[in-house]
A and B are shown apart, each in its own frame.
Chain A
Amino acid sequence: MLSIIKEKVFANERLTREEGLWLLKNGSLLDLAEMAEHVRYRHNPQAKVTFVIDSNPNYTNVCNIDCIFCAFYRHEGDADAYTYTVDQMIERFKAAEKRGVRTVLLQGGVNPAIPLEYYTELVRRTRAEVPGIHPHFFSTSEIIGMCEVSGLSLPEVLAKLKEAGLNSIPGGGAEVLSDKVKKKISSKKGTSADWLNVMREAHKLGYKTTATMMYGHLETDEDVVEHFDVIRDLQDEYHGFTAFIPWSFKPGNTPLEKIIPSYASSTRYLEMIAFSRIYLDNFQHIQASWFSEGKKTGQMALHFGADDFGGTLEEENVHASANFVHTTTIKEMVDLIRDAGFTPAERTTLYDIVGEYAEGQYPDCVLDTARLDVHINADVIMPTIPAGMQN
């Protein structure tokens, strides 16, 4: 079976679901890597790795969904619950713009007290008042929340946001697109059909989005392949996904922690990166996350099929709340890419290259905006963060 699969991959043919499942179950780490590298260089022939200078603030932590992997949300009335006004958010965006940030990845809880106008206003004013910032706003759960609050249909809400100036949305909240799994970890968050539905409608309207997967909790290999299968099919329809981003669940201060005592190692993560690269033959970009997996794992992923290093996440309240230790400076991030043997290239949210940086060169922005200078944890117990809120 392995030789059949290899032949197909090297002949640039698509793997079937059965082949995918066999490979995920039986393929060794390096067999996967060998094939993934082939596909990576087919889509992106140069030894270049892209990154985006972005910021990841939150406008509210009030949420009525109660996902059991989430350490971030609060209920209305909790002492540390917050919701920022549009003015407050615009101020923050302006400050970020000054520091050289190009993209704001904005997400929040699903807060039923916020009207649709808040969201459209936020997009419109960002475009008008902070032109240097690309708005990459709102997860599928929030968009479904907007439909409920406004009574409008999904296409109507998406059209209103688009009209306000939004043209890309983050792909978080997919977790594992298998209803069996979703029911266990986020019972109120809707079915996998809901996530796909928002994505499909968005792609139809010309939005670009990312696709994600959070694994390492209750899913089986079958569930994982099902997840890849549905997003590969959707990609065939509209080609609206820019990149695929897997990350592992890290039991932090979450209820899910009690069910999952330990979690996936770097090996499993690299297998997921490589497998996604092989199986998702219609995705141009696979994103490695130094942020959720650790800097060294992020570097390794670049040789296992990933061609993008994600965002600098210049500010992130969500994770700061959970003793988060993976922080970096923009300078360090550029060096990490370089030390892994690649040319660092800065990009936009939509993957247009803005600049490439030779040895000794760095982006023209505030380079060390990092907050804590904690370097990578050498302990065998890896740091814990909630993963539910990433792009």
Chain B
Amino acid sequence: MLSSKLLRFRDPQLAAIWEKVRHGERLSKDDGLALYATHDVIGLGRMANEVSRAKSGDSVYFVLNQKFEPTNICVLSCKFCDFAVKKGAPEAYEQSIEEMLSMLNPNIREVHITMGLHPDWEWQYYVDMVRRIKENFPLIDVKAFTAVEIDFFAKKFKKTHEEVLSELKAVGLKTMPGGGAEVFSERVRKLIFNQKIGAKTWFEVHRKAHRLGIQSNVTMLYGHVETIEERIEHMMKVRDVQDETGGFLTFIPLAFQPGDTGIKTRNNFTSAIDDLKTIAISRLMLDNVPHIKAYWVMLTAEVAAVALNFGADDMDGTVGYERIAHDAGATSPMQLQKEKIISIIHEAGKIPVERDVWYNPLHIYTAEGTTVVSKMPYLNSVPFYAEFEPSSGDVKVAPLVPHVFGEFAKEGKVDAGPMSLMDYAEQQDEFDMLDYGVAVNGKAYSVLLYSHYEWSKLSGKRIGITGETSTSVNLLRVLLEKKYGVKDVKFERLHLTSSQNDYTHFDAVLLIGDEALRRHKLGGLGTFLNVYDLAEEWHAWKKMPFVFAVWAVRKTVAGDHREAIVEALEHSLAFTKGKEVELGRDHAKRLGMTREELGTYISAFTYTLGSAEKEAIDTFLGEVYNIVTM
């Protein structure tokens, strides 16, 4: 179940739909149509906002990115496109790779590249483009080429889609934009996109990309000649493919702007209500897509701002071209743009989180007077958050993996939450510990070492360790050194995004949380023969529980905020007691777990810290300091 909240609706039809949504049931086409037909725009928004909060808390993501369109020369001439021209036309332009490199702002994190289908450019040119950006700017991730372009490359250079994609991936392509999807309807395609690839090829390309570990976005261009039914069908097609691959990061509704296309719409722009409805309905229909983007460049900033309360959790961050980006002192347009985006997100009552291409948080911008609580995004944390509704509007929730929480806490940006034990140990002067946390007495199921070797043979080997927390990593070190006497192990941090990890490089791999559970359900990890549950290892050794995290609140948090946090936490724990399985069902389903497995899993954990847990904390920290000082 997603929410126990009963919402009030002006349109009684929405009440029935909310019952489905809050019980984690999928919406049908008729539901989608009813949502579009409703006059109860606020009721619709409330539902979408609840769903968005269950997924992303109060966080709204943005990325500093730059857009490149290296050429406007295109072999096609799509009806609605007022960008493309033919070779030799006066407006035609072509950019060299050097030109692009000189225009790149080194402070961005993502470069977005799409372009016309050029009649003469060589395959090597595209490969070099990606490679040289990556070589010159290792911190900037390349998001490039729509399915239309990939398909064009395959045909022109006589390669399969896989070949095109893997060659690009090898030189640094990280993700793909979601353009070229338009509306997945043959009727509409014949009317205005007749030169473009259809839904079938578009999805083919994205499926293949997802299988190769290239995640992507998907757009929907609305507000031209499509029907409401076609919009809903579009969303449902996306939902089906997402069930198969799980590779879509973001759904992006794009409001059509007729410009010079000659396609007539009533007011030359979509209605704000249609915009808000489309955002909200996307959020409600696409239960399996992590993010919905309010792309302000097409939506206008005024609508995008409000969309943040209608189900959108991403605001893009396009900074455009900046030729003179290198003088560090001056306030650059990029800085202004970023401040504007941050202030729009603050005013929407949300938390701005700057992200990378995969939505890993890089920075968090906490507004003055706001207290941010970290939400551990794992299945075993459901009891903390199922009913976590602080009574103060200034206490916000941001989903952060434990390690990132620890880092943001050090910067003073996040103030409370279940803190990884090691992070708490490091910051105990600034934080108070509450009597709550995450502990197990025996198996934890989700802290697993996958290994080619037995414990005793791991000496001198390379172990890939999760980047999500340092507690499990230290537990591993303690077990290796103190329990098994194994030394000289080489640890290497894994990427936070699992699709970016190649586990075959390692002799053993430590995974935690949902990723560990998911892999376990998939029948293990690659060819690793041995699987060790670290909590079980600890328990067998010390005859003690193991504490992964403790709830901590920064000492300087205002009294009323602290009270609101404790109250919300205690309420949620009391509410979920006995209902954990029902509440965690949707989350578990995403990991492929059955009801029974979920029951066993959840019942392994203790959320209140008693004297046994506190003793276990001291014992563990003692062992850690012991190896550090040895």
Contact = CB atoms under 8 A, between A and B. Distances in A.
Interface of A: 1-2, 25-30, 33-34, 37, 41, 47, 262, 264-268, 270, 293-297, 299-300, 303-304, 332, 335-336, 339-341, 375-382
A43 to B, nearest CB: 15
Nearest to B50: A30
A381 B340 contact: yes
Interface in B18-58: 39, 41-43, 45-46, 49
Contacts of A377: 300
A363 B39 CA distance: 25
Contacts, number: 120
B271 to A, nearest CB: 4
A266 B303 contact: yes
Contacts of B300: 294, 296, 376-378
Given A1-B391, A37-B42, A380 B309 contact: no
A29 B309 contact: yes
A227 to B, nearest CB: 20
Interface string B287-301: 000000000111011
Contact of B303 (A29, A300, A304, A335): A300
A28 B391 contact: no
A1 B389 CA distance: 13
A303 B42 contact: yes
A34 B306 contact: no
B347 A303 contact: no
B606 interface: no
A299 B276 CA distance: 11
Given A266-B306, A339-B267, A296 B275 contact: yes
Contacts of A265: 301-302, 305, 343-344, 347-348
B302 A266 contact: yes
Given A377-B300, A382-B302, 13 more contacts: A28-B309, A30-B42, A30-B309, A265-B344, A267-B306, A294-B302, A295-B269, A297-B303, A300-B272, A300-B276, A339-B266, A378-B297, A380-B337
Nearest to A336: B267
B504 interface: no
A155 B230 CA distance: 64
A28 B347 contact: no
B298 A270 contact: no
Nearest to B309: A29
A265 B301 CA distance: 9
Contact of A379 (B42, B276, B301): B301
A96 B296 CA distance: 38
B201 interface: no
B393 interface: yes
Nearest to B10: A37
A2 B306 contact: no
A299 B301 contact: no
Nearest to A305: B42
B273 A299 contact: yes
A379 B274 CA distance: 20
Contact of B273 (A33, A37, A41, A341): A341
Closest 6 pairs (CB-CB, A-B):
A26-B393, A339-B271, A296-B272, A266-B302, A299-B272, A303-B41
A267 B349 CA distance: 9
Contacts of A335: 266-267
